[in-house]
Amino acid sequence: MVTPWFQPLGACADESIRCASSADGNSQMMMADSGSNEEVAVIGNTDITSTESENNIINTMVERGTALLRKMEINVAEAEKRMGKNTVNMQETYTVYLIETRPAEAVPDGGTPATPDTLWRRYSEFELLRTYLLVTYPYIIIPPLPEKRAEFVWHKLSADNLDPDFVERRRVGLENFLLRVASHPVLSNDKIFFLFLTEEKGWREAVLETGFQDKVDSRLKSLSASFRVKNPDKRFTALKHYSDELNTVISQLLRVRARVADRLYGVYKVHGNYGRVFSEWSAIEKEMGDGLQSAGHHMDTYAASIDDILEEEEHYADQLKEYLFYTEAVRSVCRKHELIQYELEIAAQDLAYKKQQKEELVTGTVRVFSLKGMTSKLFGQESQEQRESRLAALEQSIQEGEESLKEKNTESQEFVRTAWEDIERFKEQKDKDLREALISYAIMQISMCKKGIQVWSNAKECFNKM
């Protein structure tokens, strides 16, 4: 059983390193300089598997996590198939996942851990939760869900959603998602998230009651609309650019990796044919028989070893995929900034225009072409009363505009501040996680080579006996 692979913010493998955190979990976590220590810890012992190194990190996670994680342990323990009626009243098979939560108390020696609270959720509910988070915290980079459909598969892996391997990898991905949210300084405090973990029945109503649905449409619009922002914050522009490039490069990497895996599978499996032929050949030989036969067995072992190797590699691919999907979340935060900035610019423009209009009205000059101006020229001037009421309306409008602009300005600044805080947090998380992933990939390669050496060394001994 594979455990989640990331290390939540604030968790350090080396306990002597201090992490600052406040009781409410809202303030920024200080990342201590733990990078080099961990590298030594991981690389120095190349015999531990990648899962083992991740477990080491997870074990210390709880001690330093957010307030939520200090209170409870979360995991997605199982997956089960269910049958039910869907929205169009047809029978369908779907998978549900068991979420377990238990109080995060230290268990006394010899004692048994408390029984967890459990509830079942299906993938669509996770999607609902995530959509809620997306619209409620537009300035936060919301952790992604594992893929809906298997992509970047190499031939042996099935692309079927009901395939047990896929379900298992999705289970791990969902657990990872929950832990990411639970360890986020802002998201972990969300009430709806807490209910998601604890209230099986009433949750859906609670979410809908928040009214987040209304914001969904406007968010979709903002993501797809195209508008020109005159003065975006340059950091966001650079970030969006980086995010797009990262998306491209990781996609390509995943594609090539899948093809490489495919080919490597072929190479190993063909060696299995040696096993069969050597065995048959050994039957007709006297002196060579034994050597050939046992060499054949080693060829079979070699051919079979690729299955485990590629399964572990799939794990690495999942880690890359998480960050591939993260790039989409980053992109949407950048877009949100652009939207806010755009609306700010429009509001400022509007205000300027109104002020312009007022000035014209007051001074009687028409500097800017307007339909009103034209019609009054054509159809005669308006009366003094009309002018004054128009002026009053305009001044009212200007005042409202100024207030609105101030609000928007504050909103924009606040957005930039909070978003950038989360972006910094994200950058550090990304660097750390991917570094770990690359290192464990290297460890995997080493392990694969060592196995290869072993097999061929055995085969050579058998050939020697021929």
- Contact region with other proteins (CB under 8 A), list: 285-293, 327-335, 378-386, 413-421: 285-293
Parallel/antiparallel/unpaired status of strands 91-103 and 72-85: antiparallel
Sign of the CA dihedral running 448, 453, 454, 459: positive
CA 415: distance to chain centroid?
Answer: 21
Task: Please report which helix (H) or strand (E) contains residue 373, including its range.
Answer: helix 371-379
CB of 156 to other proteins, least distance (A): 14
Closer CB to other proteins, 30 or 277, in the complex: 277
User: Contact region for other proteins (CB under 8 A) — 85-93, 201-209, 259-267, 385-393?
Assistant: 259-267
Task: Determine phi and psi for 99, rounding to 5 degrees.
Answer: -100, 125
Number of residues located near other proteins, criterion CB under 8 A:
51
**Nearest distance in Å: CB 240, other proteins:** 13
Q: Is 162 a residue that touches other proteins (CB under 8 A)?
A: no
Judged by beta carbon, residue 13 or residue 288, the one nearer other proteins is 288
Closest contact distance (angstroms) between CB of 278 and other proteins is 8
Question: Which amino acid is it at 405?
Answer: L
CB of 277 to other proteins, least distance (A): 5
Question: What's the CA dihedral at 214, 244, 225, 368 to 10 degrees?
Answer: 130
Residue from 94, 123, 281, 420 in contact with other proteins (CB under 8 A): 281
| Binding segment toward other proteins, per CB under 8 A, in 20-28, 165-173, 278-286, 395-403 | 278-286
Question: Three-state SS string across 212-270, please?
Answer: HHHHHHHHHHHHHCCCCCCCCCHHHHHHHHHHHHHHHHHHHHHHHHHHHHHHHHHHHHH
Q: Among the candidate windows 195-203, 213-221, 280-288, 407-415, which touches other proteins by CB under 8 A?
A: 280-288
Beta-carbon count within 10 A of 236 CB:
22
Nearest to 79 by CA among 6, 1, 189: 1
274 binds other proteins (CB under 8 A): yes
Of the residues 217, 245, 403, 414, which one makes contact with other proteins according to CB under 8 A:
245
Residue identified by tokens 């080396």 is 14
Question: How far apart are CB 316 and other proteins at their closest, in Å?
Answer: 11
348 binds other proteins (CB under 8 A): no
Nearer to other proteins, 415 or 441 (CB): 441
Biggest alpha carbon–alpha carbon distance for the chain: 122
Q: Out of 162, 225, 267, 352, which residue is the one contacting other proteins (CB under 8 A)?
A: 267
> Which residue in the set 249, 346, 368, 393 belongs to the binding site for other proteins (CB under 8 A)?
249
Residues 430-449 touching other proteins, rule: CB under 8 A, are: 431, 434-435, 438-439, 441-443, 445-446, 449
**How far lies 132's CA from each of 138, 208, 215, in Å?**
10, 9, 9
What distance in Å separates the CA atoms of residue 357 and residue 367, rounded to the nearest whole number?
Answer: 9
Does 277 contact other proteins by CB under 8 A? yes
> What does each C-alpha distance from 368 to 359, 383, 394, 401 come to in angstroms?
11, 21, 16, 20
Asked if residue 464 binds other proteins (CB under 8 A), the reply is yes
Q: Which is nearer to other proteins, 154 or 415 (CB)?
A: 154
How far from chain centre, in Å, is Cα 360? 54
Task: Compute CA distances 328 → 24, 62, 151, 325, whole Å.
Answer: 29, 28, 16, 5
**Contacts to other proteins by CB under 8 A:** 46, 242, 245-246, 249-250, 252-253, 256-257, 259-260, 262-264, 266-267, 270-271, 273-274, 277-278, 280-281, 284, 287-288, 291, 295, 431, 434-435, 438-439, 441-443, 445-446, 449-450, 452-453, 456-457, 459-460, 463-464, 466
